[in-house]
Amino acid sequence: MPPPLNDADDTARAGCMLVPGPVIVGAGPSGLAVAACLKINSVSSLVLERGSCLASLWQDRTYDRLKLHLPKHFCQLPFLDFPPNFPTYPTRDQFVAYVESYARHFSIGPRFGQTVARAEFDPAARLWRVQSQDCLYLTRFLVVASGENAEPVIPEIAGLDAFAGPVIHTCAYKSGLGFRGQRVLVLGCGNSGMEVSLDLCRYNAIPHMVVRNSVHILPRDVFGISTFALAMALLKWLPLRLVDKLLLVMATLVLGQTTGFGLPRPKIGPIGLKNATGKTPVLDVGAFALIKSGKIKVMKSVREITKRGAKFMDGQEKEFDSIILATGYKSNVASWLKGSDFFTEEGMPKASFPNGWRGNDGLYVAGFTRQGILGTSSDALKIAADIAHKLRLTKGCKSSTRKSRY
Ligand SMILES: Cc1cc2nc3c(=O)[nH]c(=O)nc-3n(C[C@H](O)[C@H](O)[C@H](O)COP(=O)(O)OP(=O)(O)OC[C@H]3O[C@@H](n4cnc5c(N)ncnc54)[C@H](O)[C@@H]3O)c2cc1C
């Protein structure tokens, strides 16, 4: 349902709209969190979303069995908690219901079907020109909330085009229902690769998961306590390297060694690696047990995809019915934000968390912290406070200029 038309919509239809408040690109958790925090500060905003629903990553591009990887209290948005009856790890559908109730609670009605193709600061007008396919939005404040996971990463692999069976990215995978009894090559061993392989097993498919390098697998919970929560608590008291060592000892106690199963651990510990590269450790929800029992087969790097299967670096050759690319996602900011040197070519802020939320000329960035929704909340609160402060200063200037005329 499109949002109700407001006064400015007639102008928008004509192709140009001067937006009195900030323009937020993206109606995912980050965009909605910024809009809500602005509202708390009495600032109205306009959210532009390319999809036709809120949190389109979660609604359209995730698999059915997905649950939050982190406990709910690390994933709630500012000023509205999850319902108390939700489990510690809400399901995808519960998370979507929460996001929808969040938007309703703060009366946020994004303009759907608006893909921002270009945004650029106009120094003469001191405004951002934000161009969608059918409207030019002019605004003093631009908030980039288009997500670290805006586009699927499709790797270049020799022979992939020649494969005779279906090839899909995990963003198009819903469940193993259509893969019953199939031999499936899963490329990638992050959280998605592991969970898709686990799901395939539940439908009696035979997943072969490719592990190109190394990977940290941690139990999602240790004796009923979330490993992530434990790590966060320990980090308050202990140095990161020691926390990493403790996590690895715990992981070995709970899961056993992983290296012998074709899953060597990186040299840097899980949190150190996450901070240095953004690579998230796998929080295991059962896939490792299936690797140990041989139901999920672990394969070394692929040398080449053939018409009927794949040749591997270790010389093996196998036939497959389908290929699933669990190769992750990337930002799309570099393709549409022009004239700003705030982002890298990969579309991530050059300054790392907690400093990557504010650029020059009224540019703000939410949800690019590599810290999940926890980082989103921190960004949203700071962005809203900063914009509200700037607007108050402008109002103060205007009223003092007016007063001085009399
Ligand atoms: C499988 C999976 C599981 C995850 N689990 C967790 C978890 O448990 N906990 C956690 O904290 N994080 C998790 N994450 C990370 C998760 O992506 C984020 O925390 C959350 O979705 C980030 O919200 P966001 O609004 O920043 O980005 P997104 O949710 O990606 O929302 C961005 C929105 O911007 C829109 N958009 C993009 N480009 C444009 C454009 N040019 N014009 C207009 N609109 C545009 C997109 O359509 C999208 O709706 C998970 C990610 C994945 C992929």
Sorting pLDDT into bands at 50, 70 and 90, what band is 190?
A: very high
What is the reported pLDDT for 6?
46
With CA atoms as reference, report the closest residue to 331 among 315, 355, 350, 313. 350
Rounded Cα–Cα distance for residues 208 and 206 (Å): 7
Cβ atoms 211, 189 nearer than 8 A: yes
Residue 297 has pLDDT above 80, yes or no: yes
DSSP reduced 3-state for 200? helix
- Amino acid at position 361, single letter: D
Cβ atoms 38, 387 nearer than 8 A: yes
* Tokens found for residue 219: 């139990």
Q: Is the CB of 226 under 6 A from ligand 1?
A: no
Determine the residue of 373, 377, 378, 379 to mutate for testing ligand 1's pocket, defined as the one with the most ligand atoms within 8 A of the Cβ atom: 373
What is the reported pLDDT for 400?
59
What is the reported pLDDT for 352?
82
Each residue of 32-42: pLDDT tens digit? 999 999 999 99
Q: Is the CB of 96 under 6 A from ligand 1?
A: no
Each residue of 201-260: pLDDT tens digit? 999 999 999 999 899 999 999 989 999 999 999 999 999 999 999 999 999 999 999 999
Each residue of 173-185: pLDDT tens digit? 999 999 999 999 9
Residue 12 has pLDDT above 90, yes or no: no
Residue nearest to atom 27 of ligand 1 (CA): 147
Residues in CB range of 66: below 8 A, 6 or more apart: 58, 91, 92, 195
Rounded Cα–Cα distance for residues 98 and 80 (Å): 9
Going from the Cα of 316 to the center of ligand 1, the distance in angstroms, rounded, reads 37
CA distances from 2 to 40, 46, 51, 300, 323 (A): 23, 13, 11, 48, 37
What is the reported pLDDT for 395?
79
Cβ atoms 362, 142 nearer than 8 A: yes
For the domain spanning 10-150+331-404, the CATH number is: 3.50.50.60
Q: Is the CB of 50 under 6 A from ligand 1?
A: yes
Residue 355 has pLDDT above 90, yes or no: no
Q: What are phi and psi of 238, to 5 degrees?
A: -120, 155
Percentage with pLDDT > 70 across the chain: 94
Each residue of 87-136: pLDDT tens digit? 999 999 999 999 999 999 999 999 999 999 999 999 999 999 999 999 99
What is the reported pLDDT for 113?
97
Q: Residue 372: which region, alpha, beta or left (left: phi > 0; alpha: psi -120 to 50)? A: left
Domain 10-150+331-404 identical in fold to domain 153-328: yes
Going from the Cα of 310 to the center of ligand 1, the distance in angstroms, rounded, reads 32
Calculate the average pLDDT of the chain: 93
Instruction: Report which ligand 1 atom has the smallest distance to the Cα of 146.
Output: 34
Q: Which has more confidence, 275 or 91? A: 91
Q: What is the pTM assigned to this prediction?
A: 0.92
Residue 2 has pLDDT above 60, yes or no: no
Q: Is the CB of 380 under 6 A from ligand 1?
A: no
Going from the Cα of 118 to the center of ligand 1, the distance in angstroms, rounded, reads 20
Q: Is the CB of 365 under 6 A from ligand 1?
A: no
Residues in CB range of 241: below 8 A, 6 or more apart: 269, 272
Residue 405 has pLDDT above 60, yes or no: no
Instruction: Report which ligand 1 atom has the smallest distance to the Cα of 51.
Output: 47
- In terms of Cβ atoms closer than 10 Å to its own Cβ (0-12, 13-18, 19+), residue 223 is exposed
What is the reported pLDDT for 4?
40
Tell whether omega for the bond before 4 is within 30 degrees of 0, i.e. cis: no
* Tokens found for residue 333: 């900011």
Across the range 333-338, mean pLDDT stands at 98
Beta-carbon count within 10 A of 383 CB:
25
Instruction: Report which ligand 1 atom has the smallest distance to the Cα of 191.
Output: 1
Residues in CB range of 287: below 8 A, 6 or more apart: 194, 195, 197, 198, 296
Residue 402 has pLDDT above 70, yes or no: no
Determine the residue of 149, 153, 324, 368 to mutate for testing ligand 1's pocket, defined as the one with the most ligand atoms within 8 A of the Cβ atom: 149
How many CA atoms within 13 Å lie on the side-chain side of 286? Answer: 11
Residues in CB range of 81: below 8 A, 6 or more apart: 73
Would you list the domain boundaries of the chain? Answer: 10-150+331-404, 153-328
Going from the Cα of 159 to the center of ligand 1, the distance in angstroms, rounded, reads 31
What is the reported pLDDT for 403?
52
Rounded Cα–Cα distance for residues 277 and 37 (Å): 30
Q: What class has domain 153-328?
A: alpha beta
